[in-house]
Amino acid sequence: MATVTFDHATRIYPGNSKPSVDDLNIEIADGEFLVLVGPSGCGKSTSLRMLAGLEEVNEGRILIGDRDVTNLSPKDRDVAMVFQNYALYPHMSVADNMGFALKIAGVDKSEIRKRVEEAAKILDLSEYLDRKPKALSGGQRQRVAMGRAIVRSPQVFLMDEPLSNLDAKLRVQTRTQIASLQRRLGVTTVYVTHDQVEAMTMGDRVAVLKDGILQQCDTPRRMYDHPANVFVAGFIGSPAMNLLDAPIVDGGVDVAGHTVPVAREELSKASGHVTLGVRPEDLHMSEDGDGIPVTVDVVEELGADAYIYGSTKAKQVGTTGEENADSPFIARVDGRRPPEKGEVVYLEPKQGHVHVFNADSGERISD
Q: What is the mean pLDDT of the chain?
A: 91
Give the pLDDT band of residue 321 (cuts 50, 70, 90).
Answer: very low
**pLDDT above 90 covers what percent of the chain?**
71
* Angstrom distance (rounded) from CA 52 to CA 156: 9
pLDDT for 210? 97
pLDDT for 319? 39
Give the pLDDT band of residue 318 (cuts 50, 70, 90).
Answer: very low
Give the pLDDT band of residue 364 (cuts 50, 70, 90).
Answer: very high
**Contact assessment for residue 161 and residue 191, using Cβ atoms and an 8 Å cutoff:** no
DSSP 8-state code for residue 30? T
* β partners of residue 294: 345
What average pLDDT does the segment 310-318 reach? 73
Is the domain spanning 4-230 CATH 3.90.1150.10? The answer is no
* Angstrom distance (rounded) from CA 214 to CA 204: 17
How far CA 193 is from CA of 40, 45, 129, 317, in Å, comes to 10, 8, 29, 35
Chain segment 63-90, per-residue pLDDT in tens: 999 999 999 999 899 999 988 888 899 9
Determine which helix (DSSP H) or strand (DSSP E) holds 221, and give its type and residue range.
helix 220-225
> What is the SS3 assignment for 344?
strand
Q: By C-alpha distance, which of 266, 259, 324, 319 is closest to 295?
A: 324
In this predicted structure, which of 25-29, 300-304, 326-330, 363-367 has the lowest mean pLDDT? 363-367
Domain residue ranges of the chain, discontinuous segments joined by +: 4-230, 240-358
In this predicted structure, which of 111-120, 148-157, 167-176 has the lowest mean pLDDT? 167-176
Give the pLDDT band of residue 278 (cuts 50, 70, 90).
Answer: very high
pLDDT at 268 over 90: no
pLDDT at 347 over 70: yes
Give the pLDDT band of residue 45 (cuts 50, 70, 90).
Answer: very high
pLDDT at 270 over 90: no
Chain segment 147-156, per-residue pLDDT in tens: 999 998 899 9
Determine which helix (DSSP H) or strand (DSSP E) holds 307, and give its type and residue range.
strand 305-318
The DSSP string of 241-264 is: PEEEEEEEETTEEEETTEEEE--H
**Contact assessment for residue 136 and residue 86, using Cβ atoms and an 8 Å cutoff:** no
Give the pLDDT band of residue 175 (cuts 50, 70, 90).
Answer: confident
* Angstrom distance (rounded) from CA 288 to CA 71: 66
What average pLDDT does the segment 270-280 reach? 91
What average pLDDT does the segment 181-204 reach? 93
How far CA 159 is from CA of 7, 52, 79, 162, 199, in Å, comes to 20, 10, 11, 6, 12
Determine which helix (DSSP H) or strand (DSSP E) holds 233, and give its type and residue range.
helix 230-235
Question: Environment class of residue 354 by beta-carbon count within 10 Å: exposed (0-12), middle (13-18) or buried (19+)?
Answer: buried
Chain segment 222-254, per-residue pLDDT in tens: 999 999 999 999 999 989 999 999 999 998 999
pLDDT for 176? 87
Q: Which CATH class is domain 240-358?
A: mainly beta
Query: What is the dihedral angle through the alpha carbons of 63, 64, 69, 72, rounded to the nearest 10 degrees?
Result: -160
What's the one-letter identity of residue 175? R
The DSSP string of 141-199 is: HHHHHHHHHHTT--SEEEEESTTTTS-HHHHHHHHHHHHHHHHHHT-EEEEEES-HHHH
